[in-house]
Amino acid sequence: MQNVYRTLLLFCFSLSLTSCFDLPEGFTGMGMKPVYISPDDFSVIYTTDPQETVDQGSFLVNGDFIYINERFKGIHVIDNSNSFDPQKVYFWNIPGNSEFSIDGDLLFADNSRHLITIDISDPSDIHYVSHVKDVYSGDNQNNNFPTDYIGIFECVDFKKGIVVDWEEEFLEDVNCEIAW
C-alpha cells in the first residue's frame, strides 16, 4: 500500500513540473503568439484528407463509422466496415471543436462559442447549415497555451476568437510563461 502512495505522490509531483506562470509586466523577447480566427467564420468547416491524431478527445460509433474528436481541430472519420482493418477516410476541419453528436445526416458540434449544425449526408463534402450563437463562453478552449513548448507566450484573449495555431514572434509586454 505504501508503494501506491509513493507512486501517486510521484505522479502528482510530475504533473506540477510543467505549469503556466504569470510574468511581471513588461517582459520582452522571443515567444509564441496565438493565431486567431473568428468564431463566425464558417468557411473553415470542410472535409479534408485524413490527418494524424495528436490530441484525441471523445469518440462516437455510428453504423460502420467511428468519429474521433481531435481537440480544438475537428473530427477524424474512420471507416470501420472491416473491424479488423479500420481506415481513416476523412478529417472534418472544425476549429475550436471539442464536443459533437450525430443525428442522421446532421452533425451537431461546438466551435468553442457556437453550437453548429453541419450536413454530413456526403461525408466527403460536409456543409455548414446553421448555428445557435454564443451557447458556449469561448474560454472553454483548453489550448490557451502552446503545447510541447517551454518559454514565454502571449496570453490568449478569447475575445479575439478561436486559437487555431501558434507562431514564434518577438513579443513585447507579455506576461505568460510555461516552465518546468
53 and 100 share one domain = yes
Domain membership of residue 2 (yes or no) is no
**pTM of the predicted structure, to 2 decimals:** 0.79
pLDDT digits (tens, 9 = 90+) for 36-48: 999 999 999 999 9
Domain membership of residue 9 (yes or no) is no
> What CATH number is given to the structural domain containing 96?
2.40.10
pLDDT digits (tens, 9 = 90+) for 105-117: 999 999 989 999 9
The 3 state secondary structure assigned to 100-133 is EEEECCEEEEECCCCEEEEECCCCCCCEEEEEEC
47 and 128 share one domain = yes
Q: What is the pLDDT of residue 138?
A: 63
Cell of 134: 454564443
59 and 128 share one domain = yes
Going by their DSSP bridges, the two strands 87-93 and 100-103 should be labelled as unpaired
Domain that holds residue 76: 42-132
Domain membership of residue 11 (yes or no) is no
Domain membership of residue 150 (yes or no) is yes
Q: What is the pLDDT of residue 5?
A: 43
Paired strand residues for 171:
29
Q: What is the pLDDT of residue 90?
A: 98
